[in-house]
Amino acid sequence: MSHTAILWFRRDLRLDDNPALQGALAHGARIVPLYIHAPAEETPWAPGAASRWWLHQSLLSLDASLRRLGSRLWVEEGHSLGELRRVIAATGATEVHWNRLYDPTTRERDARVKQALRSDGLHCESHNSALLFEPWDMATGKGQPYRVFSAFWRNCVKELPTTRPDPAPARLAAAPRTTDGPDVGALGLLPRVPWDEGLRAAWTPGETAALESAATFLDDRIATYGEQRDRPGSPGTSRLSPRLHFGEIGPRRLLAMLRQRGLEPTAGPGEPFVRELGWREFAYHLLYHFPHSCNEPLDRRFVRFPWRTEGTPELLAAWQQGRTGLPLVDAGMRELWRTGWMHNRTRMVVASFLTKNLRLPWQEGARWFWDTLVDADLASNSLGWQWTAGCGADAAPFFRVFNPVRQGERFDADGAYVRRWCPELERLPDLYIHRPWSVPPSRLEAAAIRLGNDYPLPVVDLASSRQEALSAWEQIKG
**Inter-helix orientation angle 378-389/270-289, to 10°:** 90
Asked whether residue 117 falls in the same domain as residue 151, the answer is no
Torsion of CA 306, 308, 313, 314, to 10 degrees: -160
Residue 184 is assigned to a structural domain of this protein: no
For residue 105, the domain's CATH number is 3.40.50.620
Asked whether residue 382 falls in the same domain as residue 444, the answer is yes
User: Quick count: other Cβ atoms within 10 Å of Cβ 104?
Assistant: 17
Q: Total domain count for the chain?
A: 3
Instruction: Please tell me the predicted confidence (pLDDT) of residue 178.
Output: 60
Distance CA 333, CA 345 (A): 12
Instruction: Please tell me the predicted confidence (pLDDT) of residue 268.
Output: 94
Pairing of strands 123-127, 4-9: unpaired
Residue 388 is assigned to a structural domain of this protein: yes
Q: HSE on the CB side for 50, CA within 13 Å?
A: 24
Asked whether residue 284 falls in the same domain as residue 304, the answer is no
For residue 309, the domain's CATH number is 1.10.579.10
Listed residue (209, 193, 240, 188) closest to 55, CA to CA: 188
- Tell me which of 129, 158, 185 is where a domain ends: 129
Asked whether residue 139 falls in the same domain as residue 280, the answer is yes
Asked whether residue 113 falls in the same domain as residue 151, the answer is no
Average pLDDT for the chain:
94
CB 358 within 8 A of CB 319: yes
Torsion of CA 216, 217, 221, 225, to 10 degrees: 180
| β-sheet bridge partners, residue 451 | 455
Asked whether residue 118 falls in the same domain as residue 137, the answer is no
Distance CA 206, CA 267 (A): 30
CB 426 within 8 A of CB 180: no
The stretch 58-74 carries a mean pLDDT of 96
Sheet arrangement for strand 123-127 = 74-77, 30-37, 4-9, 95-99, 123-127
- Tell me which of 257, 289, 321 is where a domain ends: 289
Q: Is the pLDDT of residue 139 over 80?
A: yes
Identify the domain containing residue 32 by its residue range. 4-129
Asked whether residue 139 falls in the same domain as residue 101, the answer is no
Instruction: Please tell me the predicted confidence (pLDDT) of residue 1.
Output: 46
Instruction: Please tell me the predicted confidence (pLDDT) of residue 42.
Output: 84
Listed residue (389, 414, 413) closest to 402, CA to CA: 389
Residue 91 is assigned to a structural domain of this protein: yes
Distance CA 417, CA 385 (A): 23
- Tell me which of 238, 267, 289 is where a domain ends: 289
| β-sheet bridge partners, residue 8 | 34, 98
Asked whether residue 26 falls in the same domain as residue 148, the answer is no
Residue range 222-278, pLDDT digits in tens: 999 999 999 999 999 999 999 999 999 999 999 999 999 999 999 999 999 999 999
CB 69 within 8 A of CB 172: yes
Residue 195 is assigned to a structural domain of this protein: no
The percentage of the chain sitting over the pLDDT mark of 90, rounded to a whole number, equals: 90
By annotation, the residues acting in catalysis are 276, 279, 307, 344, 362, 385
Q: 105: which residues sit within 8 A by CB, 6+ positions away?
A: 41, 42, 43, 44
Residue 181 is assigned to a structural domain of this protein: no
Asked whether residue 149 falls in the same domain as residue 47, the answer is no
CB 372 within 8 A of CB 195: no
Asked whether residue 153 falls in the same domain as residue 222, the answer is yes
Residue range 296-317, pLDDT digits in tens: 999 999 999 999 998 899 999 9
Asked whether residue 13 falls in the same domain as residue 38, the answer is yes
Asked whether residue 313 falls in the same domain as residue 454, the answer is yes
Alpha carbon separation from 156 to 9, 134, 137, 287 (Å, rounded): 28, 11, 10, 17
